[in-house]
Amino acid sequence: MIVKGFTIGLLFISLSGCASFIANQMTSPKKSNVEGNISDWAIVQQLCDTNNYCVKAIGLGESAEGDYSLKFRFHINDNHKIWRYETKSDGVETAKPLANHLILLFTGYSQPTEVLYIHQLWLQRMTGAEVIVLPSAENTETFKFGLDYAPPIVAEIQRLNPAKVHLIGFSMGALAAIEVEKQIDNAKLYLVAPMTDFDYSAKAIYDILYRDKIYATFISQDTLEDAIQIVYEESGTTSKDTDLIAKLNRVTSPTFIYASYEDRVVEYSAFNAIPNDNVDVNIYGELNHLEMVALLSQDLMTDFVSDLLERPVLKSEITTLGILCDFDDDDCLNQLPD
């Protein structure tokens, strides 16, 4: 996810005007301010390939077992939502529809990880699968759009030998997810607001946030182009490596895409021209990029879980989906006990 990613860098462009400075800000780790009840159940682990190349990941420890009340609050523009999920066993063994499956969550560029870790525990309890979160591309020692994640992840998949692997890529995380899909034969892909190409997204963010700012007059399109090229050069990649549409034309696994008309960071119209029967495209309205990657829509959440579980899921299934409410909608929030 790119929206937060350029804020610091572009605020200082009027002082520096330097393409290399902009490129550095694009690939630097970012902070988020999303509220959530993160607990001590998450554990950091290293996934390594046979050449001892490793990436950090977040798994679930034994403390993740038991009953939980999960909640996160998301406030952007006029959209103020609360998502809640209750997991209560009541001494009864719950169904585990994806037991012996592996779910991998590929974090988007600068995506709020607090939300993703809560979704991790929700998915683990709801499906019975093992769930692992991979970091966003800028939170690694060398920025490569996440394309370098594939070898250690594939090695971990081979070690675990799951019945099926569910690769869930958010925004830029779609690139890493689809790179893994190429190397395994039991995958399903779920791409939420996937970045169609870096050049388009970078320019879209600049246009959204800074077109009308006074200091925008100090920044030429050539400077932005130069910064984008520096990112490619320093990461050892090219625009072909980030061409998601070309990659989707070649996927052989069942693939589900979730995009929005209102997401100006993603060129959603590009998904209409994918001549691949393995790809299923879902388009939503009135959701921007941040809202998409947070699954901040009942329709989006329902479609995603239906595809994941391979059965129609009803919006009324709050024990599966949790609840998503406006922050001041008491009737909605009271569907689950405190």
What 3-state class would DSSP assign to 256?
strand
The CATH H-level (homologous superfamily) assignment of domain 35-195+243-333 is Alpha/Beta hydrolase fold, catalytic domain (3.40.50.1820)
| Residue 326 β-bridge partners | 81
Q: For the ranges 20-29, 33-42, 148-157, which has the lowest average pLDDT?
A: 33-42
What are the helix (H) ranges across 169-287? 173-181, 198-210, 221-235, 244-248
Residue bearing the bigger pLDDT, 45 or 22:
45
Residue type at 218 in one-letter notation: F
Half-sphere exposure in the Cβ direction for 311 (13 Å, CA): 8
Cβ neighbours of residue 21 under 8 Å, at least 6 residues apart?
A: 9, 12, 13
* Greatest C-alpha distance within the chain: 64
Cβ neighbours of residue 329 under 8 Å, at least 6 residues apart?
A: none
List the chain domain ranges. Answer: 1-31+198-237, 35-195+243-333
Angle at alpha carbon of residue 297, lines to 128 and 309, rounded to 5°? 30
Report the distance separating Cα 282 and Cα 304, nearest Å.
10
Highest mean pLDDT out of 75-89, 293-307, 318-332: 293-307
**pLDDT value for 12:** 46
**pLDDT value for 10:** 45
Half-sphere exposure in the Cβ direction for 135 (13 Å, CA): 21
Report the distance separating Cα 97 and Cα 117, nearest Å.
21
Torsion of CA 103, 289, 294, 272, to 10 degrees: -50
| Whether the predicted pLDDT of 262 surpasses 80 | yes
Share of the chain above pLDDT 70, in %: 80
Sign, Cα dihedral of 84, 89, 94, 99:
positive
**pLDDT value for 292:** 94
Q: Is 18 left (phi over 0), alpha (psi -120 to 50) or beta?
A: beta
Contact (Cβ atoms closer than 8 angstroms) between residue 165 and residue 253: no
Half-sphere exposure in the Cβ direction for 326 (13 Å, CA): 6
Residue bearing the bigger pLDDT, 215 or 19:
19
Report the distance separating Cα 202 and Cα 199, nearest Å.
5
Strands 279-284 and 101-106: unpaired
Sorting pLDDT into bands at 50, 70 and 90, what band is 54?
Answer: very high
Torsion of CA 198, 181, 64, 290, to 10 degrees: 20
Model confidence pLDDT, tens digit, residues 163-185: 999 999 999 999 999 999 999 99
Q: For the ranges 129-133, 213-217, 288-292, 312-316, which has the lowest average pLDDT?
A: 213-217
| Whether the predicted pLDDT of 38 surpasses 50 | no
Instruction: Find tokens 């309890």 and name the residue.
Output: 125
Model confidence pLDDT, tens digit, residues 85-99: 987 766 566 778 999
What does residue 36 show for φ and ψ, rounded to 5 degrees? Answer: -165, 165
**pLDDT value for 33:** 36
Residue bearing the bigger pLDDT, 11 or 246:
246
Half-sphere exposure in the Cβ direction for 12 (13 Å, CA): 13
Q: Nearest to residue 266, comparing CAs of 182, 195, 170, 172?
A: 195
Angle at alpha carbon of residue 35, lines to 31 and 37, rounded to 5°? 115
**pLDDT value for 224:** 83
Q: Nearest to residue 256, comparing CAs of 320, 166, 333?
A: 166
Summarize the confidence of residues 43-68 as an average pLDDT: 83
